[in-house]
Amino acid sequence: MSHYFFRFSFWVLLLFFLSGCAGMQTGYDTPTVSLTSFRLIPGESIVPKFEIGLRIINPNRDALEFDGLFYNITIEDYKILSGVANELPIVEGYGEADILLDASVDVLGGAKLLQSLINSPKDSFQYGFNAKLDLGSLKPPLRISEQGEFTPRGL
């Protein structure tokens, strides 16, 4: 009797796993996240705040629902800005959405950058933008990393 129960359980589990694999999405394309704006927000605080604009493009059939987002910006490898967001729009299939984020300056990272620039002035700066978008517990997070160089105006 237990032999039949074991065999029946094995086939049920095998069917369960095979149906789960068949339901997995194939041909999934990684969404595109790009930095669209970066501006200083006027305020009365001694610590400057910035508004960061992101555009998310979903090249897939299914909508993207995000649980949250963590991001940071570095200049010359010093962490300057970081933040989180948890109220993000749903990006429909084959759609796009714009997100505005508020970020506060990391005072310690800013002070280290300033000290570095005093010791060796530069005409251009390397930046890095890193973000982790949480797509929920069943999907791996979407990680974005963008590097580049900029020259401040007026130099």
The per-residue pLDDT for 61 is 93
Q: Is residue 11 part of a domain?
A: no
pLDDT in tens, 99-113: 999 888 888 888 898
Q: Print the domain residue range for 60.
A: 29-149
The pLDDT of residue 155 is 45
Dist CA 138 CA 43 (whole Å): 40
In a domain, 51, yes or no: yes
CB 71 within 8 A of CB 52: yes
- What CATH number has the domain bearing residue 70? 2.60.40.10
Flag whether 34 is in a domain: yes
Please, are residues 68 and 49 in contact by the beta-carbon 8 Å criterion?
Answer: no
Residue 98 maps to a domain: yes
pLDDT band at 153 (very low <50, low <70, confident <90, very high): low
Token pair, residue 75, equals 């200049």
**Does residue 5 form part of some domain?**
no
pLDDT for res 2: 61
pLDDT computed for residue 93 by the predictor: 95
* pLDDT classification of 86: cutoffs 50, 70, 90: very high
Tell me what percent of the residues of the chain surpass a pLDDT of 70: 81
What pLDDT shows up at residue 21? 47
∠ Cα 138 72 36 (to 5°): 90
Residue 116 lies in a domain: yes
Choose the weakest-confidence range: 5-9, 27-31, 106-110, 142-146.
Answer: 5-9
97 lies in some domain: yes
Residue 8 lies in a domain: no
Which of 153 and 140 is assigned the larger pLDDT? 140
Q: What's the structural domain count of the chain?
A: 1
Residue 30 has pLDDT above 80, yes or no: yes
Mean pLDDT over each residue of the chain, to the nearest integer: 82
Predicted pLDDT at 134: 93
pLDDT of residue 22: 41
